[in-house]
Amino acid sequence: MKDQIPAIEAEALARISAATDERALEDARVAVLGKKGSLTLAAAGMKDVPKEEKGAVGQLLNAARASIAAALEAKQSALQEIADRAALAGIDTTLPARELAIGGLHPLTLIRDEAIAILRRMGFALADGPEIEDEFHCFDALNTPADHPARNEKDTFYFDSGKLLRTHTSSVQVRTMESAKPPIRIIAPGSAYRRDEIDATHLSVFNQLEGLYVASDVSLPDLKGTLEFFLQELFGSNTEVRFRPHFFPFTEPSFEIDVKLTVKGQEPRWIEVAGCGMVDPAVFEAINKSRKDQAFDPETTTGFAFGMGLDRLAMIRWGIRDIRLLIENDIRFLKQF
């Protein structure tokens, strides 16, 4: 037995090393380690080995088994490598890879992020609110009476429940004032919905960015300075900005803001980009009523608010003639940004 084991081992190792494919290797394994394999049979002979030799023979057996297992494993990976190489034969792995088309950011995302970055530098924090709103947050709290045209079913999308798709993100300003106290300085970017006839400058959903600054000493010059700075950061420091008196139910006085657009080969023209104004005390009173406190005392609380269409800003920035391009996802258009 003592001589038999090294002989079995040597023969097995020779067969393993001679194997040229997986099949031959498996045969070699079965021949030595299988149920009727030579080493298995030899191990079965242990019961006849005299007691005093059992230890030594056992060690021999274990060593043989270990060296055969190691040889099998090494041969297995060597064969695998050969197979891998064969599979790659004829493929030039040094060729440069095919180019993957990498996407870019949508122009609305670009202009929104830029606008947010400028306003954050001025201390405005981001605020958020639901797109499905109730009449209180969209209209009543904003001093907009029941007979105001914006509340008409022709202008606003209503649900059967009486809720509606917010017509502006001013509702986020209301929600913010309900839950926080002055000073408040927030911006609320998001979608707004109106039943507009769809054409080159109108969609039924557009993207707004509204802002609100409420404290004890906010003045009209603060509003003017903030928005002038913002628009000149966005469109260039030479951009001309003008404030035109206007009316909004929730601000007094109110303005519309135009920027002068100069496109090569065209007469310069004024384009409306935003609405703004000083928060009407009636809004603070409505907020107090809803909060059930006097956190926004109309005598001492002042603030300005503004709202602009990001779609419009993007159209001005890149000279986009038709707003519908912003939602059509035509690669030929989007590729340019």
The pair of three-digit structure tokens given for residue 251, joined into one six-digit string: 């601000």
Given candidates 139, 230, 296, 306, which one binds ligand PHE under the rule CB under 6 A? 306
Asked if 190 and 168 touch (Cβ cutoff 8 Å), the reply is no
Contact code string over 2-31 relative to ligand PHE, x by CB under 6 A: ------------------------------
Q: Residue 183: is the preceding peptide bond cis (ω within 30°)?
A: yes
Shortest distance, CB of residue 279 to ligand PHE, whole angstroms? 8
273 binds ligand PHE per the rule CB under 6 A: no
Q: What minimum distance in Å lies between the beta carbon of 206 and ligand PHE?
A: 9
3-state secondary structure of 166: coil
Which range binds ligand PHE by CB under 6 A, 53-61, 157-165, 198-206, 299-307?
299-307
Site for ligand PHE in 146-175 (CB under 6 A): 168, 170
Q: Which two tokens stand for residue 172?
A: 């986020």
Q: Which is nearer to ligand PHE, 25 or 305 (CB)?
A: 305
Q: Give the dihedral sign, CA 117/120/126/132.
A: negative
CA–CA separation, 162 and 166 (whole Å): 12
By rule CB under 6 A, what count of residues binds ligand PHE? 12
Q: Which stretch binds ligand PHE (CB under 6 A): 17-25, 132-140, 155-163, 274-282?
A: 274-282
Q: Are 193 and 165 in contact (CB under 8 A)?
A: yes
Alpha carbon distance 160, 164 (integer Å): 9
Helices (runs of H) and strands (runs of E) counted in the chain: 12, 9
**What is the Cα–Cα distance from 180 to 189, expressed in whole angstroms?**
18
**Residue 251 Cβ vs ligand PHE, minimum distance, rounded to whole Å:** 5
Closest distance of CB 291 from ligand PHE, Å:
20
Q: Which of 9, 210, 258, 311 binds ligand PHE (CB under 6 A)?
A: 210
Q: For binding to ligand PHE (CB under 6 A), which residues are involved? A: 168, 170, 210, 248, 251, 254, 275-277, 305-307
